Amino acid sequence: MHYVALACRCLVGLVFLISFSTKVAPSAFRAFAQSLRTMNVLPVPLVRPAAVAVVCVELAVAASLVWTASARAGALLAALLLAAFSVAIVVSSTRNANATCRCFGAGGGRLGVRHVVRNALLFVACLVVSFGSAAPADPEVAVAAAGAGVIAALLVVGMDPVAELFGRSRPAI
């Protein structure tokens, strides 16, 4: 279980670090805030503060997952954020808001089922980190587990462009 928890820490931490890094440029942040507005789940005056909060929490999650002592707290914070994102996506989709995913910058396609599924899988990874045991004993296996987490993170981040490449994205929730 040590190694699975380590892989999940790397997965969640890298996903949140990439998500943060794709929103910090002023134009990218404005696009992200606009996507939140288009989702139509928050009152307009709360959109910008919510966008700032999301970016700050993403950085906090990524940073906290680096250290074993704060990994559980970071994973729980990530799980809460993922749950909030999923609820917002479902609400937005049921209102036919036609919002675009700006989770990892531009080109995320329309928000829909695949985003909720992605968030659910990341949520499970957060639970594994939260309830997993601390440090792995074998360094070679730990490096392999961390590498598996990195590969999984890159697959998660690359999901939208690949889905857009192979077919139209349908929200259909």
Per-10-residue mean pLDDT of the chain, 173 residues long, equals 89 96 93 92 95 96 91 95 95 84 77 91 96 76 92 90 65 52
Return the HEC string of 25-61.
CHHHHHHHHHHHHHHCCCCHHHHHHHHHHHHHHHHHH
Q: Within a domain: residue 105?
A: yes
CA distances from 98 to 7, 73, 156, 164 (A): 34, 33, 22, 15
H helix runs in the chain, sequence order: 2-21, 26-39, 44-64, 68-94, 113-131, 139-157, 159-166
- In this prediction, residue 134 carries a pLDDT of 63
CB 15 within 8 A of CB 156: yes
Domain membership of residue 173 (yes or no) is no
Residue 171 lies in a domain: no
At 158 the three-state DSSP class reads coil
Inside any domain, residue 54: yes
Q: Is residue 126 part of a domain?
A: yes
- Alpha-carbon distance of 171 to 99, in angstroms, equals 9
Single-letter amino acid, residue 20? F
* pLDDT of the residue at 142: 87
Alpha-carbon distances of 167 from 9, 112, 162, rounded to whole Å? 31, 14, 9
Tell me what pLDDT residue 88 has: 93
Between CA 126 and CA 47 the distance in angstroms is 26
Q: How many domains, the chain? A: 1
pTM, rounded to two decimals: 0.88
Determine, yes or no, domain membership for 8: yes
Residue 119 lies in domain: 2-166
- Is 172 part of any domain? no
49 within domain boundaries: yes
Q: Single out the residue of 117, 103, 141 nearest to residue 5, CA to CA.
A: 141
